[in-house]
Structure 1
Amino acid sequence: MSQTVTPPAQTPPAEEPSRWHRALQEITTGNAIISVLAVVMALVVGAVMIAFTDEGVQQAAGYFFARPGDTLVAVWEAVAGAYSAFFQGAVYNFRRPEFAAGIRPLTETLTFATPLIAAGLGVALAFRVGMFNIGGRGQMLMAAAAAGYVGFAFELPFGIHMLVALLAGVAAGALWAGIAGLLKARTGAHEVIVTIMLNYVALYLITWMLRTPGLLQAPGTNNPTTPAMRETAVFPELLGPQYNLHLGFLFAIASVVLVWWILDRSALGFRFRAVGENPSAARVAGINVKAMYVYAMLISGALVGLAGTSQVLGTVTTGFSSGIDAGIGFDAITVALLGRSSPWGVLAAGILFGAFKAGGFSMQAAEGVPIDIVLVVQSLIVLFIAAPPLVRAVFRLPAPGSAPRRQRPIVSKKGVAR
């Protein structure tokens, strides 16, 4: 007697995720959302610090259990007042009756962002090649010295003088960074150690030149400052004398496009990315890895040199001292990290940090918020970006490459069912 065997039911094919579901999955697992959420978390922590340091909040907290509403109102007024002052100092000032005067804070933000964008691009490009250019300060100082010397010591026609000073500054930054690239290529010296040492060499060299008559020191004074730049060498203003925004901002934007083209559209950029991913595999593929190290540091130093030149010819045209770098060389590392070493990401991060600089002074002047809180917020952004699992855990984001969970099949005696 034969027994009929019923074949198990076939498992129906899994449904393909919709286009919107795939787009949402890419957004929540990408790196861009981590940068945005890192900024949000840092602003939240900054709000907590503003509340704790506000005198009104501290007074209301003394009788919190009697009237808790007063404390909450004081916290809201402190945080809202601080961030409102930040917005009015970095984007638009609603207290000004005219649009031309109200938009001035945005131009200040772009002015502060100009050297940050240029220097951040230099650090980001080095990152893409697997190198860590921490010598921004030294490269900016050398670029400022070269551009400044051409700016006050030579008499050239308008336009030509500015271009010569610009090229001198960019070349000085490139050559100073190229030392680290050459030493890494020839001797294997680590670029972090070399660039740190070159920072000190540049600082003391420029300090000596600023105190030596006939070099960078202004004649007739003992102060370590340079003479004022000649008008023919200064970057022209973009929007008129009432604003500080100058031509250097357009140079920074052009640098963003140039670096994007180099990294994503040129054969040199392909070699850069190959070396950054795996130097051994790139060497096997026939790429001259040592030459890529030198080229990368030369271009990186040129971009940082553009930042130093913008400081001299665009912002400080009355002469400069050894503090001309203003910490931008180290802030550029933060900008490159926040921008995920992408040219367009660096542009956005540079503008954001320019807003921090412009808005931070407004917060301090209008609301009495310590400027150190702004520095803490910037540091927290770096901390959160360096710890993506922490950000994903706080906001319950899926891990990169994770797929949506599928229901397990139900196995019964009659077959397999969903």
Structure 2
Amino acid sequence: MDKLIKIVTKDSALVPLVAILMGLLFGALVMLAGGYNPLTAYGALVGKVFGDPYDFGETVREITPLILTGLSVAFAFRTGLFNIGGEGQFMMGMTTASVIGIKLQLPWFIHAPLAVVAGALVGGLWGAIAGYLKAKRGVNEVITTIMLNWIALFLSNYVVNQFLLQPGQQRSYPTQDSASLSFGWLSEMMGNARMHWGTFIALAAATVFYVLLWKTKQGYELRAVGHNPHAARYAGMNVNRNIVKSMFISGIFAGLAGVVDVLGVFHYQTVVAATPGYGFDGVAVALLGGNTPLGVVLAAVLFGSLTYGSAGMSFAADVPPEIIRVVIGSVIFFVATHGIVRWVLLPIYAKRKKEEAA
């Protein structure tokens, strides 16, 4: 029975897998209700993702920023904070990288690393603002990060408009080739898909996440403060400093997502009316991934594949792209309400246990 309980607990790997299956089944029911064939739709989705090297490369490109924003949210969660400011941190990282990539003339071995590091640090500092307000003033980080998202959006638009804008365009000048993160020969191998070094940066960031939180003294302090700040303070830890540090590191991950998107994919920045959405999707990725680095990577693979593959559903099966958001929302719902998943699983395993006992 202990094994049975462990199988259906919240932390079991089986729970998110069943949640994904239930989300896909619910999406199929929605498609049936709308008069669409779910088998054709899901087949078209898989075909879009794996149909040819170009589409597979573009799927990887879609996955990359989701890994980084997912890590951003997961890191904050693991340290007792709720960072939903990934959108703003993404924008600030992107804008900083754009400024350096456009305005500076440097050798490639200095230019690209400088743009990456500067964008990541500014994203981290943007997150640290919310951390400071929570540590020193007790302001809830949910409120401040939401407000900072909008400030970052309008500040980024101002910078592009005033300093980077091409005449007669709604976008900046292109970044210098020396600041590019594009991965030339791999991109050619994948049918000229927009492959870039940011994918490897994202995987390296997941490794840093794990090592920092579970293999270092600093990571132990961050987790301890997140679990119980009063006990951590009693043990001599500087709670306020760790809160600021946690939001700073969390912001670095989200800032990196913006950096790799502008230097690796678009090579310019546009004046936009809304944030790109990767920061909010990162919340769902972190939730589905159980706030672990490996889980975040796998969840980003799922979300990125569903997002990019939705175009195949639209063209091949005539299913509106919005249906894929229903599927993603269903997956999030079933993961968040893990009690429903356990309610489904428990009778199955209880019956098997009874049969084994007999």
Same fold (TM over 0.5): yes
Match of 1:394 among 324, 344, 354: 344
Q: CA deviation at 1:208?
A: 2.3
**Aligned counterpart, 2:111:** 161
Corresponding position of 1:248 = 198
Q: Once the 2 structures are TM-superposed, how far is the Cα of residue 395 of structure 1 from its aligned partner?
A: 2.8
Q: Which amino acid aligns with 2:180?
A: V
Provide the rounded CA distance (Å) in 2 between the counterparts of 1:255 and 1:323: 30
Partner of 1:73: none
Q: Which one of 2, 12, 23 corresponds to residue 42 of structure 1? A: 23
CA offset at residue 239 of structure 1? 1.2
Q: Name the residue aligned to 2:55.
A: 105
Higher helix share: 2
Q: Name the SS for the 2:154 alignment partner.
A: helix
**1:217 alignment partner, one of 165, 170, 194:** 165
Residue 297 of structure 1 and its aligned partner are, at CA, apart by 0.6
Match of 1:352 among 302, 316, 340: 302
* One-letter amino acid of the counterpart of residue 217, structure 1: L
RMSD: 2.0
- Contact in 2 for aligned 1:145/1:169 (Cα 8 Å): yes
| Structure number with larger C-alpha Rg | 1
TM-score (ref. length: structure 2): 0.91
CA displacement at 1:397 relative to structure 2? 5.9
Q: Match of 1:85, as an amino acid?
A: A
Alpha-carbon displacement from aligned partner over 1:175-223 (angstroms, at most 9, x marks no partner): 11110111111111111111111111111222222332xx1322x22x3
CA distance, structure 2, for counterparts of residue 352 and residue 288 of structure 1: 38
Counterpart mapping for 1:240-319 below 5 A: 240-241=187-188, 242-319=192-269
Q: Return the structure number with greater relative CO, CA threshold 8 A, min gap 6.
A: 2
Alignment partners' CA distance in 1, 2:301 and 2:249: 22
Task: Give the deviation of 1:323 after TM superposition.
Answer: 6.1
Is this contact kept in 1: 2:180–2:263, CA < 8 A?
A: yes
- Distance in 2 (CA, whole Å) between partners of 1:224 and 1:31 is 48
Q: Name the structure 2 match of 1:328.
A: 278
Listed as ranges, the matches of 1:405-416 within 5 Å are: none
How many pairs were matched up? 346
**3-state SS of the aligned residue for 1:378?**
helix
Whether 1:85 aligns to 2:30 is no
Residue 343 (1) aligns with residue 302 (2): no
Partner of residue 173, structure 1: 123
Residue 324 of structure 1: CA displacement?
8.4
Distance 1:148 1:117, change over 3 A: same
2:20 maps to a residue whose letter is V
**Cα deviations across residues 228-273 of structure 1 (Å, max 9, x unaligned)?**
1111111131613322221100000000000000111111111111
**Distance apart, 1:362 and its partner CA:** 1.3
Q: Which letter maps to 2:222?
A: F
TM-score w.r.t. the length of structure 1 is: 0.79
Match of 1:372 in 2: 322
- Contact 1:177 1:301 (C-alpha < 8 Å) held by counterparts: yes
Over the matched positions of the two proteins, sequence identity in percent amounts to: 37
Does the 8 A contact of 1:308 with 1:325 survive in 2? no
- Secondary structure of 1:334's partner? helix
Q: Look up the SS of the partner of 1:159 in the other structure.
A: helix
Which residue identity is paired with 1:83?
A: Y
Unaligned runs of 5+ in 2: none
The code of the aligned residue for 1:239 comes to L
Q: Output the amino acid matched with 2:301.
A: I
Alignment partners' CA distance in 2, 1:257 and 1:131: 21
CA distance in 2, matches of 1:324, 1:163: 28
Residue 174 of structure 2: SS of its match in structure 1?
coil
Partner of 1:144: 94
Structure 1 unpaired stretches of 5+: 1-16, 56-77, 94-101, 406-418
- Structure 1 Cα separation of the partners of residues 5 and 54 of structure 2: 39
Q: Is the 8 A contact 1:271 1:292 kept in 2?
A: yes
The residue aligned with 1:70 is: none
> In the alignment, which residue of structure 1 is the partner of 2:140?
190
User: Does 2:39 match 1:31?
Assistant: no
Contact 2:160 2:269 survives alignment (8 Å): no
Q: Distance in 2 between matches of 1:397 and 1:151?
A: 58
